[in-house]
Amino acid sequence: MKVLILLTLIGVIWLISSRRYRHRFLRPIAILIVIYLGVTSPLGISLVTQGLTASLPPDSGEPVDSIVVLGRGDGVRNRRVEIAEQLWREKRSPKIFASGMLDAEFIIEQLKNNGIATQALNGERCSQTTEENALFTAAVLRPQNIQKILLITDPPHMLRSVLSFRASGFTVIPHTSPLPSYWEPERSVPVLLREYTGLVSYAITNRFRQRSPSELEHPPIDVMMKLKTWNCKL
C-alpha cells in the first residue's frame, strides 16, 4: 500500500513537472521502485534465494559424525529443533551440536525436553557471526575427531555457512531449514541482501580460505581464550 501511494505521488509529480526534472530525478526513482517491487514479489524472492542455493549439493542422506545447528533468532529456532531431532532419530548421527550466542542454549534445552539424551548434545554460546560459528564449532568438535557434519540453517544462510565450515576443515552436508512462510517481504528481503553482502565481504577478506592442518590443530588464540574464560561450552 505504501509503495502504491508513493507511485501515485510520483505519477502526479511527473505530470506537473518539466521534462528536464523528470529525466534527472523522477525517472531514476521510478526505476528503483520498479526494481524493489520485482525483488519483493514472491517470484523475485524465489529467484534471489535460488541464486544463493543453486550451487549447493542436496542432502545425500549418509550418516555423519555430528549434526550442527546454527541459530537465526526466535522465529526459526523451533523448526530447527524439530529438524535436528528428526535427523537424530533417523540415526543420521549420534550427536547434535548447537552454535550461536542467542540460540544454542535454547536449542539444547528444547532437545533435552524432547527426550534426546544429554550425552548426545553439545554446543557453544559465544559465536556472533558465521565465521565464529565455524571457528568455535571446530575448536570444540575437531579434537573429538568429528570431521563430517550435517549442517542445519536456512537457505539464504547456507552457502556462506558451508563455505565457512569447509574452511575450518569440515566435510559439510547441507540440510536446509526453511524460513517462516509467514514472513513478509519487508523481513525476508533484508535477510537475502545481508547474505549477498556477507558472501562478497567474506570473499574479499579471504575468510573462505582453507585453513592449514597446523591452523586446524591450533585454533586462533582469541577463540581458545573465549572458550576457556567466557564459559562458551554447553
CATH of the domain at 106: 3.40.50
Q: Is residue 154 part of a domain?
A: yes
Whole-structure pTM value: 0.83
What pLDDT is attached to residue 161? Answer: 97
Any domain includes 182: no
Query: Is residue 41 in a domain?
Result: no
In a domain, 136, yes or no: yes
Question: What's the rounded Cα separation, in Å, for the pair 107 and 127?
Answer: 15
Share of the chain above pLDDT 70, in %: 80
In a domain, 112, yes or no: yes
In a domain, 134, yes or no: yes
pLDDT band at 188 (very low <50, low <70, confident <90, very high): confident
Count of domains for the chain: 1
* Residue 223 counted as domain residue: yes
Task: For residues 106-131, give the mean pLDDT.
Answer: 96
pLDDT of residue 191: 87
Task: Tell me, yes or no, whether 128 lies in a domain.
Answer: yes
Quick one: pLDDT at residue 130?
Answer: 96
What is the domain extent for residue 136?
66-177+188-229
Average pLDDT over residues 102-107: 94
Average pLDDT, the chain: 86
